[in-house]
Every structure is written in structure tokens, then in C-alpha cells.
């Protein structure tokens, strides 16, 4: 479901020192175990075959397989059979969740030049699955409320909060209007949420050719980009409140579970929403009057983009079947030989919006190939020390339904047993990208050094790190001289890792390859299918194999270690950077607000205003007070010290297989959760990472503190600093206990 960008990838992973991988035992392994492990891993990586992955994708993408569809269930049963055929102990765990599907959809431009939107993606002759009309979900945004609204249109750019500030400065209001927002920048679910907060009555979201259409390359089927009638489906559930079944927050939705009544659900939109193509959008955009938009609001249709309002009214009418649908999570278990109560979990979803070759099958198929390879290893005598779970989630697209309900249902076990969760989703050609818990940063680096990049034949680690140099700032270059590990990004949301890291505090990594092929052109459309993937994405499936090799090596190496290969100096360094960021954020906002207030007082806005245009100065803002960052500074320093202490003890005793320390290590990330959760969204318990309340998939680190500042909730900042610091101090205590065990004192 999620998208990665080259920029993010290069920024977050990679850069920096090109030290050769040390020829010493794997972290957490005795010298003897390490030598054996290297053998098993090499055997493992030789097994996955591009052509098998290709055939798995072909099979699973042969028909539409969204939640509740016949082929969704069929795929689950097929996956189960495959896993069993590999000799694995597998089962389907069934849950259920609210999943609305369209009953009626209507979008019209009224007035003197009426137009009715087509709302239909045409069949393409060259694309064999594009004509499976009877099984395709229509174009819609899931968890839009029902509604039939009429109003003038207003263009709101990407529909982020700052876009409404810009509109206000131009004197344009969306009260009573239907907003038309373009896809991109901010996650789609933010668009109707913010629109409703500003008084809009409806929300249209369209794909501008600038963002994923002809501006970026030839449109499908000549090239990979979105064609004129292509539409991005997608969920607009208010996921920053909580993901998963809207009627059972925090509870695994087995049939018969108690449900919140529909009219009390917080995560359904407040206004009706509908996604459209740019062919459908053009007549609506042409109807807009008002001022010409600022330069960074312009799309690439051959028109003058204006804010509106339109003279002509628009009408948006949608209604849905508010049904609960079954979810089929497929789970294979390989019991651990030494530490069966320590679980290594691997997951990728199998449901799609339509045929879903790229999203998600380019991740699902490699995962299945990993499972096959593990089955082979088992037959060859391999015995993982820890228990391994291979999960194929259902219902990710509507909003992480299958993974969330499963993890909520198994929450107590997971808190006790999970040592890591490795997630993937869509995958294609290019550079290695990883994000996740920073206690696994060193682990991710160690695995990435052992995987060969199919194109350059250097390691995927080296390729990403070298390539990032070309975009590195001087500060990043300076860091490269001294930092052995490449940085990994932090996780927001957008795929099945969310419940694991954000709700349960389980060490998590999300990984993918990408950045060479345009990935977003058919995102969530009927054209994201086998023809598309095999013509415009990883056409030789070598990066599909690389994903299987990378994720599988992570699973095996985590499962076989004597001492869990967590490492905390990278984490402490990262947390220290976050603390620096939120302090700077407060200082910057204070300076900006002071300057703006001074400009208002000086009459700068009057001076800059063009009397032929409406121009509204911003309101005078309260200057932020100074905050007590001392607890956070202290906690960050304490974590730095504790991480270094642990590392010293580990260097001495870690390689001796002091497995008694594992029980403490397993508590380090959970320590960072707070059962009270984030302000106004208690489901999110992780005090270090969360999806942003106004960014959706985009991460906010130290979220309680950062968002309180960003949202100008000055009175709660100090308390959130204290809570966040306390969480870090809890980890410090756990680390000290672990160190004590290691050093035997």
C-alpha cells in the first residue's frame, strides 16, 4: 500500500563511511554458531528463483482480490496450500471487519456547461486483466461516509493544513464548498479530514498528471505513468486515530466481538469523498474562478489553475454497503528449537484494490518464495533457535485490517514473545530502503552488507550508501567519515508494520527496493496488474529475488542468534537527533511567530498587498513560551550512556552466548510505549514513532512532543516532554539490567 521515494530512501538509508565489513562473528553469535549460520544463510540465498516469484505473482494477480472477493479467499487458500506443500505448519486465522463498498457514485458539474464524471477505468486491449469488470471494485475511497452534497468547488492543492492557510491569505473560504484536492504530498485520508475541519461539505481527490501522469513519462500502456482515466482508489479512514476495523479499536475482531455502533465510529470521514481521474477532473478545474493559484499549486493540465470558488455548483453523491467482511490471514509457524517462546515475525499483505501485481504481490510473492526456501532449509537439517511466523495479511488496503486484528487478538502473546517484525509491501527495481526501530539499525546494516545488488554486483548496502553520496549535504558527508552504520528511516504508517511498532512496541523493520522505475503510475488502479509489472517494473524479477534474500536473511539471522543482535548506540544517536529537532522546532516556531507578529504590527502585509487582489494578513499568534526540555535532554544522555555501557559489556561477553540477557533485551522497545498513548489517540502507544496526525503515512518522531508544538498546544508540551522522557528512561533501566546480566555484576 505504501510508496517509497528515491529521496526518502537515499536520505534515510545509506550515505557514509565505506568501511569494509569486518571479518568477525555475526553479532550475537558465538564464533562457532556464526560460522554455521553463515553457511545456512548462503544456502538460503541460493534457493529463491525469479521465475517462481513471477509465476506466484501471475497466479495471485489473475483476478481482482480485494477484501470480501471470491479471489481474495481463493488466494488465501492457495497460499495455505503452498505453505503446507513446503512442509510448513500453516493455517488461516479468520477475522472480520467493516468494509464499505459502493452502492452508488455520482459526481456532476451543474450550471451552464454541465458535465457528469465517468468514474470508470476503461479496458485496454493489450492488458488482459483490465477487462475483468464484474470483479473489479469501482473507483472509490473506502470509509467515506454516505452523502449527497451540492456546493461550489474550491481547489485546495494537496489539501494539507498549510494549503488552507494559503487559501485564507487569498481570502478564499471552503465553507459549504466541495473541495477538489490533488493526490500526493500528504496522505489521502488527511485531505477530507482537513477539508471537513474547514467547513467543506465534500471532497474530490484527483490524480494530476504532474504527480503521476504524463509529466513523468509516457502514460500506460505505452509507458508506466497514469493514463487520463486512471484512478487511485484508497482508504480515507482516519487512521491516525487508529487503524484496523473501525468498530473494534484495540480488540481483535473475531466473529461475535462487541461492535461500536456505526454512528459512533471516529474513523469514518465527516464528509463524502470520491477519487477521480484527471480526465474527469479537467471540466471541474476549468469551472473554477477566483485568483490564479501560487506557483507550487499548479498541476500539469493545460489550463490556468485557479482556487475557485466556481460559479457553477457541483454535486457529489455517494452511498455504500456498510458490510462486515471476512479477513483471511494466512500464518505459517516454524517452531524454535532453543527459544520457542521468542518469535520472529515476517509479514506482507495479500489483498489488493484490484489485481495488485505491484501492490502487494511484488512483496507477497517474494515472501512466499522465502517460505519455500525455509522449508528447503528445514529439510536440509536447519533448526532455527527461535520460532518463526510467516504471515500473509488480508485487508491491508482498506487500512491494515488483517494485521491489526490479528495483532490485537494476540496482543498479550506478542508483547511477551515477539522479538522482531519484518514487513514488506510493494517492491521493484533499484536501491535498498529500510526503515524501522533504530535498535535494529545495526542489524539491518549487517544483513544489507551480505546481499548482492543484481545490477551492480556490489552489496545492496554499498550501492545505497555510495549512491546517496551524490545527494549528500556537507553535514552528511562529514558524518560519513565517522559513522559505520548507514541510517535507516523512521516508520510512520502505510503498511502492516503499524500495529507492531506503534501499538505494541515490537522492534520492526520495513524494507523494499525501488527508485529506478516509476512506481506510482498505476497505484491502486485496475492497471496495477501482471501486464504492467512485467513490462514496466522489475521485469526480470531479480529485485524480487533480492527482496526474498534480504528479508529471509533477516529472519534467519534473528532467529538463530544466541544473544538478540539489538544494538543501542545507533538508537541513542538517533533519539539524540530527534531531541535536537524538537528543541529546534520550538525555537524556530517562536522566532517565526515573533517575526510574523512584528511584520503584522509594522504593516508589512498591507505594504505587500496588491489592492486588485484579495489579501488577508495572518492573525497575530501567541508567542510560544519556553519549554522545559531538561527531562528529554537528560533521558537522551542517559540512553547514550546506557547504550555505550551495554555495548562495552556486550563486546566482552555478548559473543559468549549469555542468552540470559535475551529476556531483558525483549523489553527494551516495549519500554518505550505508554499505555495511555498519544494525546487524543490512545491506540498509539509508542512514544518515539507514530504516523502524523496531519501527515498520515508520514512519520512524527517523539510524536507527543513534536505534535504538541506543531499544533501550538503550548500548555501540554511540558507534560508530553516528561512522558516521553519517562519512556526513554524506562528503556535506560532495562538496558542497565541487561548490562548487569552481561557483565555478571
What span, in angstroms and rounded, lies between the C-alpha atoms of 531 and 361?
A: 13
Q: Which three cell numbers stand for residue 644?
A: 555505550
477 near a second copy, judged by CB under 8 A: yes
- Please state the φ and ψ torsions of residue 79, each to the nearest 5 degrees: -60, -45
β-pairing verdict for 273-276 and 202-206 = parallel
Task: Provide the sign of the torsion angle of the four alpha carbons 287, 291, 293, 298, taken in this order.
Answer: positive
Name residues contacting a second copy, limited to 685-744 (CB under 8 A): none
Contact present, 344 and 564 (Cβ < 8 Å): no
Our CB check for a second copy shows the closer of 168 and 609 to be: 609
Our CB check for a second copy shows the closer of 611 and 675 to be: 611
Q: Which of 372, 463, 503, 557 binds a second copy (CB under 8 A)?
A: 463
Question: Minimum Å distance from CB 294 to a second copy?
Answer: 11
The SS3 call for residue 565 is coil
Exposed, middle or buried: residue 125 (CB in 10 Å: 0-12, 13-18, 19+)? exposed
The secondary structure of 208-245, three-state, reads CHHHHCHHHCCECCCCCECCCCCCCCEECCCCCCCCCC
Instruction: Report how far apart, in Å, the C-alpha atoms of 191 and of each of 195, 203, 269, 436, 557 are.
Output: 6, 8, 10, 26, 41
621 near a second copy, judged by CB under 8 A: no
Our CB check for a second copy shows the closer of 151 and 624 to be: 624
Q: Which of 11, 322, 605, 714 binds a second copy (CB under 8 A)?
A: 605
Stretch that binds a second copy, among 22-30, 172-180, 210-218, 398-406 (CB under 8 A): 210-218
Our CB check for a second copy shows the closer of 215 and 616 to be: 215
Question: Minimum Å distance from CB 619 to a second copy?
Answer: 15
Give the residues across from 31 on adjacent strands.
none
**Per-residue contact string for residues 427-446; x = within reach of a second copy by CB under 8 A:** --xx----------------
Q: Which of 604, 644, 726, 737 binds a second copy (CB under 8 A)?
A: 604
Q: Which of 23, 263, 412, 610 binds a second copy (CB under 8 A)?
A: 610
The neighbour count for residue 207, using CB atoms within 10 Å, is 30
What span, in angstroms and rounded, lies between the C-alpha atoms of 661 and 83?
A: 33
Question: Minimum Å distance from CB 265 to a second copy?
Answer: 40
467 near a second copy, judged by CB under 8 A: yes
Question: Minimum Å distance from CB 162 to a second copy?
Answer: 16
Tallying the residues shown for the chain, one arrives at: 745
Question: Minimum Å distance from CB 324 to a second copy?
Answer: 44
Task: Provide the sign of the torsion angle of the four alpha carbons 672, 675, 679, 685, taken in this order.
Answer: positive
Question: Minimum Å distance from CB 596 to a second copy?
Answer: 9
Question: Minimum Å distance from CB 165 to a second copy?
Answer: 14
Our CB check for a second copy shows the closer of 242 and 541 to be: 541
Q: Which of 237, 301, 407, 642 binds a second copy (CB under 8 A)?
A: 301
Q: Which of 162, 606, 652, 680 binds a second copy (CB under 8 A)?
A: 606
Our CB check for a second copy shows the closer of 278 and 689 to be: 278
Our CB check for a second copy shows the closer of 276 and 635 to be: 276
Stretch that binds a second copy, among 69-77, 381-389, 463-471, 692-700 (CB under 8 A): 463-471
Size of the site for a second copy (CB under 8 A): 48
What span, in angstroms and rounded, lies between the C-alpha atoms of 159 and 188?
A: 9
Instruction: Report how far apart, in Å, the C-alpha atoms of 271 and of each of 34, 317, 442 are.
Output: 57, 11, 45
Q: Which of 102, 151, 184, 209 binds a second copy (CB under 8 A)?
A: 209
Contact present, 238 and 267 (Cβ < 8 Å): yes
- Please state the φ and ψ torsions of residue 126, each to the nearest 5 degrees: -75, -15
8 near a second copy, judged by CB under 8 A: no
Contact present, 225 and 217 (Cβ < 8 Å): yes
DSSP state of 360: I
Question: Minimum Å distance from CB 438 to a second copy?
Answer: 24
Stretch that binds a second copy, among 292-300, 322-330, 336-344, 637-645 (CB under 8 A): 292-300
The neighbour count for residue 630, using CB atoms within 10 Å, is 12
Contacts of 141 (CB under 8 A, 6+ apart): 188, 192, 205, 233, 234, 235, 236, 269, 273, 274, 275
Q: Which of 69, 216, 355, 549 binds a second copy (CB under 8 A)?
A: 216
Contact present, 731 and 702 (Cβ < 8 Å): no
225 near a second copy, judged by CB under 8 A: yes
Classify residue 620 as left (phi > 0), alpha (psi -120 to 50) or beta: beta
Contacts of 51 (CB under 8 A, 6+ apart): 541
> What secondary structure does DSSP assign to 318-382, as a single string?
EEEEEEEEEEEEEEEEE--SSEEEEEEEEEEE---SSS-IIIIIHHHHHHHHHHHHHHHHHHTT-
Name residues contacting a second copy, limited to 574-603 (CB under 8 A): 591, 595, 599, 602-603
Our CB check for a second copy shows the closer of 260 and 286 to be: 286
Q: Which of 49, 135, 218, 628 binds a second copy (CB under 8 A)?
A: 218
Q: Which residues of 169-184 are buried (b: 16+ CB within 10 A; e: fewer)?
A: bbebebeebbbbbbbb
Q: Which three cell numbers stand for residue 691?
A: 504516523
Q: Which of 731, 438, 688, 449 is nearest to 570 (CA)?
A: 438
Q: Which of 396, 692, 374, 686 is nearest to 524 (CA)?
A: 396
Q: Which of 455, 581, 628, 633 binds a second copy (CB under 8 A)?
A: 455
Q: Which residue has the cell 528543541?
A: 583
Question: Minimum Å distance from CB 205 to a second copy?
Answer: 20
Exposed, middle or buried: residue 535 (CB in 10 Å: 0-12, 13-18, 19+)? middle
**Per-residue contact string for residues 489-528; x = within reach of a second copy by CB under 8 A:** ---------------------------x------------
Stretch that binds a second copy, among 209-217, 245-253, 261-269, 690-698 (CB under 8 A): 209-217
474 near a second copy, judged by CB under 8 A: yes
Stretch that binds a second copy, among 109-117, 148-156, 215-223, 503-511 (CB under 8 A): 215-223
Q: Which of 5, 85, 162, 304 binds a second copy (CB under 8 A)?
A: 304
Question: Minimum Å distance from CB 654 to a second copy?
Answer: 32
**Per-residue contact string for residues 27-56; x = within reach of a second copy by CB under 8 A:** ------------------------------
466 near a second copy, judged by CB under 8 A: yes
Question: Minimum Å distance from CB 289 to a second copy?
Answer: 11
81 near a second copy, judged by CB under 8 A: no
Note the residues at the interface with a second copy (CB under 8 A): 18, 209, 214-219, 223, 225, 292, 298, 300-305, 429-430, 455-456, 458, 462-467, 469-470, 474, 477, 516, 591, 595, 599, 602-612
Amino acid at each position: 500500500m505504501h510508496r517509497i521515494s528515491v529521496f526518502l530512501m537515499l536520505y534515510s538509508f545509506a550515505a557514509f563511511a565505506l568501511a569494509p565489513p569486518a571479518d568477525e562473528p555475526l553479532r550475537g553469535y558465538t564464533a562457532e554458531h556464526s560460522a554455521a549460520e553463515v553457511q545456512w544463510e548462503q544456502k538460503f540465498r541460493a534457493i529463491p528463483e525469479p521465475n517462481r516469484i513471477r509465476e506466484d505473482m501471475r497466479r495471485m494477480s489473475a483476478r481482482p482480490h480485494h477484501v470480501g472477493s471470491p479471489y481474495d479467499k481463493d488466494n488465501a487458500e492457495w497460499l495455505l496450500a503452498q505453505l503446507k506443500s513446503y512442509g510448513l505448519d500453516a493455517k488461516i486465522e479468520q477475522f472480520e471487519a467493516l468494509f464499505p463498498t459502493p452502492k452508488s457514485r455520482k459526481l456532476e458539474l451543474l450550471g451552464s456547461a454541465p458535465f457528469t464524471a465517468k468514474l470508470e477505468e476503461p479496458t485496454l486491449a493489450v492488458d488482459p486483466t483490465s477487462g475483468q469488470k464484474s470483479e473489479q471494485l469501482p473507483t472509490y475511497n473506502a470509509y467515506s461516509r454516505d452523502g449527497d452534497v451540492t456546493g461550489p468547488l474550491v481547489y485546495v492543492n494537496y489539501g494539507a493544513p498549510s494549503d488552507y492557510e494559503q487559501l485564507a491569505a487569498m481570502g478564499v473560504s471552503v465553507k459549504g464548498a466541495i473541495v477538489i484536492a490533488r493526490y500526493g504530498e500528504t496522505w489521502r485520508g488527511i485531505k477530507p479530514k482537513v477539508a471537513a475541519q474547514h467547513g467543506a461539505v465534500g471532497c474530490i481527490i484527483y490524480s494530476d498528471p504532474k504527480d503521476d501522469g504524463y509529466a513523468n513519462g509516457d502514460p500506460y500502456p505505452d509507458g508506466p505513468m497514469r493514463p487520463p482515466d486512471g484512478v487511485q482508489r484508497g482508504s480515507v479512514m482516519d487512521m491516525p486515530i487508529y487503524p484496523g476495523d473501525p468498530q473494534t479499536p484495540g480488540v481483535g475482531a473475531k466473529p461475535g466481538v462487541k461492535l461500536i455502533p456505526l454512528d459512533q465510529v471516529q474513523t469514518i470521514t465527516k464528509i463524502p469523498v470520491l477519487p477521480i481521474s484527471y480526465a474527469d477532473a479537467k471540466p471541474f478545474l476549468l469551472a473554477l474562478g477566483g485568483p490564479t493559484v501560487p506557483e507550487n499549486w499548479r498541476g500539469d493540465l493545460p489550463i490556468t489553475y485557479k482556487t475557485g470558488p466556481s460559479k457553477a455548483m457541483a454535486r457529489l453523491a455517494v452511498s455504500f454497503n456498510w458490510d462486515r467482511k471476512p479477513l483471511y490471514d494466512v500464518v505459517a509457524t516454524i517452531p524454535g528449537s532453543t527459544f520457542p517462546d521468542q518469535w520472529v515475525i515476517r509479514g506482507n499483505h495479500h489483498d489488493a484494490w484490484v489485481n495488485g501485481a505491484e501492490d502487494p504481490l511484488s512483496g507477497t510473492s517474494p515472501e512466499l518464495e522465502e517460505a519455500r526456501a525455509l522449508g528447503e532449509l528445514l529439510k536440509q537439517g536447519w533448526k532455527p533457535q527461535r520460532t518463526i511466523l510467516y504471515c500473509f495479511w488480508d485487508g491491508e488496503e482498506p487500512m491494515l485490517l488483517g494485521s491489526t486484528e490479528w495483532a490485537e487478538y494476540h496482543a498479550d502473546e506478542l508483547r511477551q514473545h515477539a522479538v522482531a517484525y519484518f514487513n514488506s509491501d510493494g517492491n521493484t527495481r533499484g536501491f535498498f530502503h529500510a526503515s524501522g526501530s533504530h535498535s535494529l539499525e545495526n542489524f539491518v546494516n549487517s544483513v544489507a552488507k551480505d546481499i548482492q545488488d543484481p545490477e551492480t554486483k556490489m552489496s545492496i548496502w554499498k550501492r545505497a550508501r555510495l549512491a546517496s553520496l551524490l545527494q549528500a549535504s556537507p553535514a552528511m558527508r562529514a558524518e560519513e567519515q565517522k559513522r559505520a552504520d548507514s541510517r535507516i528511516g523512521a516508520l510512520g504508517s502505510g503498511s502492516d508494520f503499524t500495529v507492531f511498532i506503534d501499538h505494541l512496541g515490537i522492534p520492526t523493520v520495513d524494507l523494499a527496493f525501488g527508485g529506478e522505475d516509476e512506481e506510482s503510475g498505476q497505484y491502486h488502479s485496475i492497471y496495477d496488474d501482471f501486464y504492467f509489472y512485467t513490462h514496466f517494473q522489475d521485469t526480470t524479477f531479480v529485485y524480487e529475488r533480492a527482496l526474498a534474500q534480504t528479508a529471509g536473511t533477516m529472519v534467519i539471522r534473528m532467529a538463530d542468534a544466541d544473544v538478540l543482535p539489538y544494538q543501542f548506540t545507533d538508537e541513542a544517536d538517533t533519539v539524540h537527533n530527534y531531541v535536537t529537532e524538537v528543541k529546534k522546532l520550538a525555537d524556530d516556531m517562536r522566532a517565526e511567530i515573533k517575526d510574523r507578529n512584528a511584520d503584522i504590527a509594522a504593516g508589512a502585509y498591507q505594504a505587500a498587498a496588491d489592492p486588485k487582489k484579495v489579501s488577508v494578513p495572518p492573525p497575530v499568534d501567541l508567542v510560544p513560551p519556553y519549554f522545559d526540555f531538561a527531562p528529554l535532554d537528560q533521558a537522551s544522555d542517559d540512553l547514550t550512556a546506557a547504550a555505550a555501557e551495554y555495548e562495552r559489556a556486550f563486546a566482552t561477553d555478548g559473543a559468549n552466548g549469555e542468552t540470559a540477557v535475551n529476556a531483558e533485551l525483549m523489553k527494551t522497545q516495549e519500554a518505550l510505549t505508554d499505555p495511555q498513548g498519544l494525546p487524543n489517540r490512545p491506540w498509539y502507544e509508542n512514544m518515539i514513532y507514530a504516523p502524523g496526525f496531519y501527515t498520515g503515512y508520514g512519520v512524527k518522531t517523539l510524536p507527543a512532543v513534536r505534535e504538541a508544538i506543531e499544533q501550538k498546544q503550548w500548555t501540554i508540551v511540558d507534560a508530553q516532554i516528561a512522558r516521553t522522557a519517562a519512556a526513554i528512561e524506562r528503556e535506560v533501566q532495562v538496558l542497565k539490567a541487561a548490562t548487569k546480566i552481561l557483565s555478571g555484576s
